[in-house]
């Protein structure tokens, strides 16, 4: 039996007291307990930012890498050990800004990982500058005249590229978020969960502003209908839909294609490669480079 206590970390929190990242952390822990995942069966991966600190505060495997580089690190972990449950947890600045290119190509490669993106609509760690999701006209610490360009709509990009699982949660509803995370982790291939994350320090709007706008998709919404899903996320008026936005058609995962001859075992458990084989490989490489 796994319990929340199994995930209790021992690192001092650097988040502001009352930060909504705490609810996301709780939802993640609850999802792990519901899925009966032991800490050693998981690997959390993040980049840089307040959201990206989340893996520090849990007891499990984690890799905290360079700014924007959580996805490629997770891709490597997923290929080296497809038996691990690999989860990227990071902010929208890290994932859509500095790491946007990696996210887009992950949509094509389809690694069996879950990407949880805290979207607070600006860079919190560096004190409130605009991020790729800041709304037009919003004044930020660097954009003092107001942001002039339209925000990036990453859920729309993911749906257009047939991402197997696209969901949106709200940090103000950790039970719904927990359920979305359970579904995302169970889903094979790339699962993407964007989390609306109000920031109490640098945010423009209070929690009540979000509560008035966030709503749950109803039972009549069909997440397998790509056209309807696109329309839903392109409609960025005053309402913010949450729930499973889209389920793409199943595709082979990155590891299934990349490791098709090697079995599903972790690289660390495979037979070591002999010195002779390595020398033979190096001389073949040398041969091919002299031929060019
Ligand atoms: C290469 C590089 N560029 C810029 C920075 C500065 N920087 C650190 S965190 C961050 C943005 C983080 O934003 P987000 O991922 O949304 O996380 P948040 O802090 O809002 O949770 C930036 C721009 C950096 N550390 N490294």
Distance between Cα 36 and ligand 1 center (Å):
33
Q: Is the distance from CB of 214 to CB of 240 less than 8 angstroms?
A: yes
- Output the pLDDT for position 237: 77
Tell me, in angstroms, the distance from the centre of ligand 1 to residue 274's CA.
43
Residue 49: DSSP 8-state: S
Distance 48 CA to ligand 1 centre (A): 6
Nearest residue (CA) to ligand 1, atom 24:
67
> Quick check: CB of 131 below 6 Å from ligand 1?
yes
91 lines ligand 1 (CB under 6 A): yes
Atom 10, ligand 1: residue with shortest CA distance: 49
pLDDT at 164: 98
In tens digits, the chain (292 residues) has pLDDT values of 899 999 999 999 999 999 999 999 999 999 999 999 999 999 999 999 999 999 999 999 999 999 999 999 999 999 889 889 999 999 999 999 999 999 999 999 999 999 999 999 999 999 999 999 999 999 999 999 999 999 999 999 999 999 999 999 999 999 999 999 999 999 999 999 999 999 999 999 999 999 999 999 999 999 999 999 999 999 887 899 999 999 999 999 998 887 766 667 888 888 888 999 999 999 999 988 766 5
Q: Which fold has domain 4-261?
A: Rossmann fold (3.40.50)
Burial bucket for residue 284 (CB in 10 Å: 0-12, 13-18, 19+): exposed
CA of 112 to the centre of ligand 1 (A): 25
State how far Cα 207 lies from the chain centre.
23
Measured CA to CA, the distance from residue 176 to residue 158 in angstroms comes to: 21
- Is the beta carbon of 67 within 6 A of some atom in ligand 1? yes
Ligand 1 atom at minimal distance to the Cα of residue 119: 16
Going by CA atoms, what residue is nearest to atom 4 of ligand 1? Answer: 67
CB neighbours of residue 137 within 10 Å: 10
Q: What's the CA-to-centroid distance between 122 and ligand 1, angstroms?
A: 9
Question: Which pLDDT does position 288 carry in this prediction?
Answer: 81
- Identify which of 123, 128, 171 to mutate to test ligand 1's pocket (most ligand atoms within 8 A of the CB): 123
pTM of the model: 0.94
Q: Ligand 1 pocket, 121 CB below 6 A?
A: no
Q: Which of 188, 191, 180, 181 is nearest to 155 (CA)?
A: 191
Q: Left (φ > 0), alpha (ψ -120 to 50) or beta: where does 137 sit?
A: left
125 lines ligand 1 (CB under 6 A): yes
Ligand 1 atom closest to residue 51's alpha carbon, by position in its atom list = 21
Distance, CA of 73 to CA of 66 (rounded, Å):
9
User: Residue 39: CB within 6 Å of ligand 1?
Assistant: no
Domain ranges of the chain: 4-261
């Amino acid at each position: 039996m796994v319990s929340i206590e199994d995930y209790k970390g021992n690192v001092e929190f650097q988040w502001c007291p009352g930060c909504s990242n705490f609810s996301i952390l709780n939802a993640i822990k609850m999802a792990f307990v519901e899925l009966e995942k032991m800490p050693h069966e998981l690997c959390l991966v993040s980049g840089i930012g307040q959201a990206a600190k989340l893996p520090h505060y849990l007891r499990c495997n984690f890799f905290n890498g360079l700014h924007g580089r959580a996805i490629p690190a997770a891709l490597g972990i997923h290929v080296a050990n497809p038996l691990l449950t690999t989860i990227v947890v990071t902010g929208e600045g890290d994932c859509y800004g500095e790491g946007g290119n990696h996210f887009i190509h992950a949509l094509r490669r389809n690694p069996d990982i879950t990407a949880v993106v805290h979207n607070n609509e600006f860079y919190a760690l560096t004190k409130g500058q605009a991020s790729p999701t800041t709304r037009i006209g919003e004044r930020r610490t660097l954009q003092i005249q107001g942001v002039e360009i339209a925000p990036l709509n990453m859920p729309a990009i993911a749906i257009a590229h047939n991402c197997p699982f696209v969901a949106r949660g709200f940090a103000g509803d950790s039970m719904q978020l927990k359920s979305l995370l359970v579904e995302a982790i169970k889903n094979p291939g790339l699962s993407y969960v964007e989390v609306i994350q109000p920031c109490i320090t640098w945010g423009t709007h209070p929690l009540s502003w979000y509560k008035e706008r966030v709503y749950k998709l109803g039972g009549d919404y069909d997440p397998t209908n790509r056209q309807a899903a696109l329309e839903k996320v392109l409609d960025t008026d005053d309402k913010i839909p949450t729930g499973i936005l889209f389920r793409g058609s199943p595709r082979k995962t990155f590891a299934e294609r990349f490791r098709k001859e090697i079995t599903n075992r972790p690289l660390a458990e495979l037979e070591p490669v002999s010195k002779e084989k390595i020398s033979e490989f190096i001389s073949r490489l040398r041969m091919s480079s002299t031929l060019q």
